[in-house]
Amino acid sequence: MSMKSGKLLNDEMREKLMQPDVITGSDILLRSLLLEGVDTVFGYPGGAVLFIYDAMHRNPDFNHLLTRHEQGAIHAADGYARSTGKVGVCIATSGPGATNLVTGIATAYMDSVPLVVITGNVALPFIGTDAFQEADITGITMPITKHSYLVRQVEDLPRIIREAFHIASTGRKGPVLIDIPKDVSSHEAAFKYPDKVSIRGYNPTVMPNKLQVDKLLKAIEEAERPLILAGGGVVYADAGNELMEFAEKAQIPVTTTLLGISGFPSGNPLWVGMPGMHGTYASNHALQNCDLLIAIGARFDDRVTMKLDGFAPKAKIAHIDVDPAEIGKNVITAIPCVGDVKNVLQLANQKTKPAKSAAWIQQIQAWKKEFPLRYKDSDAVLKPQFVIEMLSETTQGEAFVTTDVGQHQMWTAQFYKFKHPRTMITSGGLGTMGFGFPSAIGVQMAHPDKLVISINGDGGIQMCAQELAICAINNIPVKVVIINNQVLGMVRQWQEIIYDNRYSHIDLAGSPDFVKLAEAYGVKGLRATNKDEARQVWQEALNHPGPVVIDFVVARDENVFPMVTQGKTIGEMLLGEFE
């Protein structure tokens, strides 16, 4: 079987779907999703959603991908959303089906990813009775959703679905949950899909205050050492072009957070690298010495700021963000600009003038040259940094890359040279192991003709490895890279540096032979233990039309540097062997 994607609606199909037929709640749900432009849904059936799955049986235009775990479904929907900007959709049954989505919902919430999460529940008369497979999923997920609905009347379903997509995809984006009791999914009502959405009390500020933008532009003209801190908000607002224009007009260097990495091209001479715990020397020292810091769609996460009272001590801080709650939350902000990042930058670009930054840019270039990202290469063992550099060079930075969480995630952020927005897909705020591989499936479903690489550790890959089955069955050609150091690498690194080499429960001995595991699922498996093998098997993987698992057996004791330990300022960096 080959990869299947849903049909795009033409006017005739849309008109047919909009007919005011009397249909079940399940058919209302499917029609509404199609009208919202949903072409792929990821899910896993169970008793409370059987009416919905029965409706799929009679709706051939509806494309559903059966994962092997609910967590795989929501991570796939997340990858789909991050790589497209569209709302990702997943479905699960009540009770354990719904609770298995919780980690994925929290992952999306922390990283502002638009999802509509549909769960089944027990029939309305049984809610609150501890019925079989009942869970209060709206209550459980209240802190990690942008909004949630418990549908009590089938007539409300079209409005609720329309609202859910609107809320998920506007303002600061995020996950919205719709909990549908089983009887509601079987009741009938006349279908009427709302033309527009009007939600009292929900009106995100997307256009900025022009006076605040003028203050920002005046501060730029007066600054001698300005710096832009660009976060995931730049990517999610599709504001990469506007950011580049802004940075080049104002002549301001740019440092990009983990989620902001693909929002500014790594080849641009104004790019300084990633800041924070594992940031570049140039980025961290630029933050500590700048006189104007312009945060754009970034939330001053603790992994970026480290010791907060020692962060950017010389800087006046401007903050552009669509979420007013983020401004002033962690750092004192002198110039707040609330609004959609794209709109703010478009307005600013009309009048932006260069800062007096020539000497400052020269200083940053000197830092970049004197303290580049580097590692001690070896012909005796395979270094993980070499593998990431090889992936970057052979793909010319053109691939979609998803990562799991750990050392390999940081090496990817450091050594893969991204060119285009939405091509770096990773769990930032929650740091979710198990995210990398299933999210790549969602990316590949959204971009069937693009190269998608999933970079994983040998720990994280085992959390969702069962999704290899759907890659094999549906010929989803993800290239699954495993950076295999036989250990929980980032935990080992902390135990070595911070806990005086007291290694506790990090040995992953007993992990499967990943080549055989891949082959057991019907996926091509390859392995490399040195540079020559690495080049050979990677080329073989690129030439293979289907999914491939490549087990790169790397040095066990390699650490990620630079590193800033907790309690230190970002200027106090460990450089490892290059101290």
444 labelled catalytic: no
- The answer to whether the CB of 439 falls within 8 A of the CB of 287 is no
Residue 354 carries which side chain, given as an amino acid letter? P
In the numeric block, the tokens 């590193």 are attached to 563
Question: Can you tell me the distance from the alpha carbon of 173 to that of 169, in angstroms, rounded to the nearest whole number?
Answer: 5
The answer to whether 132 is a known catalytic residue is yes
Q: Which of 70, 134, 163, 326 is catalytic?
A: 70
Catalytic residue among 86, 182, 342, 383: 182
Of 15, 132, 222, 351, the active-site residue reads: 132
Residue 552 CA, chain-centre distance (Å), reads: 24
Q: Which amino acid is at 351?
A: K
Three-state secondary structure of 346-398 = HHHHCCCCCCCCHHHHHHHHHHHHHCCCCCCCCCCCCCHHHHHHHHHHHHCCC
8 A C-beta contact, residue 274 and residue 255: yes
Give me the catalytic one of 4, 133, 212, 307: 133
Pairing status of strand 226-230 against strand 41-44: unpaired
Strand partners, 306: 569
**Whose structure tokens read 């050609």?**
477
Crossing angle, helix 384-395 and helix 407-415, to 10 degrees? Answer: 40
Annotated catalytic residue 70: yes
Could you tell me how far CA 335 lies from the centroid of its own chain? 28
User: Residues 56, 433, 490, 573: which is the catalytic one?
Assistant: 490
Q: Hunting for tokens 């933008």 — which residue is that?
A: 213
Q: Are 331 and 339 in contact (CB under 8 A)?
A: no
* Catalytic status, residue 490: yes
Active site residues: 70, 132-133, 182, 490
